[in-house]
Amino acid sequence: MRGVTDAPPRTVPRAAYDAAVARLRAQYAAIPPGAPVRLAKRTSNLFRPRAATGVPGLDVSAFHGVLSVDTAARTADVLGMTTYEELVDATLPHGLIPKVVPQLRTITLGGAVTGLGIESTSFRNGLPHETVRELEVLTGDGRVVTATPTGEHRDLFHGFPNSYGTLGYALRLVIELEPVPSHVRLRHLPFRGPRALDELFAAMGAAVDAREVDGVRVDGLDATLFSPEEAYLTAATWEDGAPYASDYTGMDVYYRSIPARREDHLTVRDYLWRWDTDWFWCSKAFGAQDPRVRRLWPKAKLRSDTYWRLVALDERTGFSRRLDRVRGRPPREKVIQDVEIPLDRAAGFARWLDGEVGMRPVWACPLRQHDPTTTWDLYPFESSTTYVNFGFWGTVPLAPGEVDGHHDRRIEARVDALGGRKSLYSRAYYAPEDFWRLYGGAAYARLKDTYDADGRLLDLYAKCVGGR
C-alpha cells in the first residue's frame, strides 16, 4: 500500500554515494575556521529555538535514499538523511520494516540515532540506535570514519546517540529489519476509576515481561492517557490478513477511536503512521479535526510535516501570541517534551503532570534497553529497568508572575528526582553541572577531544540548552 507517498523509494548506487561523500568533505573543508557549521535539511523535528547564523548549511541533499536491502540478513544500508517514510517504502515490499519506526514520517535515520526516537516496539527492540550495526560519520575534524560496536571507533559508536550533531553527522547506517505480515490487530484495553493509572502501568509491566496480553502475543505496546481516571493500553499483534482495515488517513481520527473501539485492524503501513496523520492529537490546534475543515483539507497534507511548517510560520510571525493579547488571554508556554520515567514511578509522574501542568491527552510508551550489556554513554539507562516514555505536546497558560519556561523547568526537576531522562529535541534549561551529570559529561569530553578537538561543531550543552 503506497498511501500518499508520491514518489518511489530512491535507490542510490554506491559510486554515487562515494562521490557525494567526497563533495561533502570538500564543502566542509572550505568552511572557514570559527564559522558555524549546520546542515541544510529539508525537514526538522526539533522544537527548541536556534540562533540564526546567516551562513548557508552543508548541502546534504544527496544523502537520502537506500543503498541496499539485504532480505537474507534482514538489514538495510541507508543514507543518513533518509526519512523513515522513504525507508519503509523500500523495505515493506519485502515484508520487512525497521525494528523501531519512530512515529513521524519525516524523522530521518541519522536524526533518530543522533537525537533518539521511540515507538511501540521499543519494549522489545529498544531505541532506534540499538538497531544500528554500522555508522559512517563525518566527524568534526573532517574525517569520515566507520563506527561499529567492536571496531576501532567503537567509542564513537556508543557515544553518537544523543550527540545531536555535535560530534559529527551520520552519512550512512546499516540497520536491522524484522519481518511483518500484512496487518496489525489492535486491542484497546480500558482502565477507569481512581486507580486507573496504577492498574494500567501494572498491566503494561506485565505485558513487557510476558510479551503477551491475555495469552495473545504482543508485538507493539503503547498507552493513551485521557485523564488520571481514564486511560487505555493498546496491544498490537502482527497478523496475516484481517476482517477489515480501518482508515485514519481521511475523515476519521485515530486517537478518537481508542475509547470507542475495543478492537481494530490496520494495514502495517497505516499502523506505522497512525500517529502522523494528526500529529498525535496536535492537529486540533489547526482546526484539522473539525469535520467542516477536514473535508476541505487535502488528504495528502494531513501529516506531521504540514503542521510543523504551520508551527514554524507562527513562530516567525508571532500570530498566536498577538491574538491571545487581543483576546485578553494570559500568555502561554509551549510545553513539548518526551521524558523517560522508571515504570514503578510512572503512575505517580502521570498524576503529578496532570495536576501540576494540566496537559491531556498524554502518550505513554514502554521501553527497555535491548542489550543489557551495552552502555550508551550520552543517554545512560539502568539496563534491567523498564522505563515509560511520556510524550506531551501543547501550550499551558502562565499565571501572573510566571515567566516562559516555568513549567519546563519544573518538569525537568521532577524527571531528575524520579531517576528519569528527558529528550533534548525541545527546550531545556539545565544548569551546566546538572546537564553534564545527566548526559555523560566525562565521556562526551573524551569524544569531543578525539573527533572534534578544534571545536568546529558546537558542544552539546551550547546546542541543546544555549539555543545556538
At residue 367, what are phi and psi to the nearest 5 degrees?
-150, 150
pTM: 0.94
Averaged pLDDT score across all residues of the chain:
93
| pLDDT bracket for residue 466 (50, 70, 90) | confident
| pLDDT bracket for residue 53 (50, 70, 90) | low
Give the alpha-carbon dihedral of 318, 324, 325, 330, to 10 degrees: -120
* Bridge partners for 282 per DSSP: none
Number of CB atoms found within 10 A of residue 375's CB: 14
| pLDDT bracket for residue 49 (50, 70, 90) | low
- Per-residue model confidence as pLDDT tens digits over 330-342: 899 999 999 999 9
- Per-residue model confidence as pLDDT tens digits over 199-245: 999 999 999 999 999 999 999 999 999 999 999 999 999 999 999 99
Q: Is pLDDT above 70 for 66?
A: yes
pLDDT mean over 26-43: 82
Q: Is pLDDT above 50 for 1?
A: no
pLDDT value of residue 5: 44
pLDDT mean over 407-431: 96
Q: Is pLDDT above 90 for 141?
A: yes
Domain annotation for the chain: domains and CATH numbers: 15-180+456-464 (3.30.465.10)
Q: Crossing angle of helices 346-356/196-210, nearest 10°?
A: 140
| pLDDT bracket for residue 43 (50, 70, 90) | low
- Per-residue model confidence as pLDDT tens digits over 111-121: 999 999 999 99
pLDDT mean over 273-295: 96
Cell of 185: 490487530
Sequence-ordered alpha helix ranges (H) in 274-330: 291-294, 304-317, 319-326
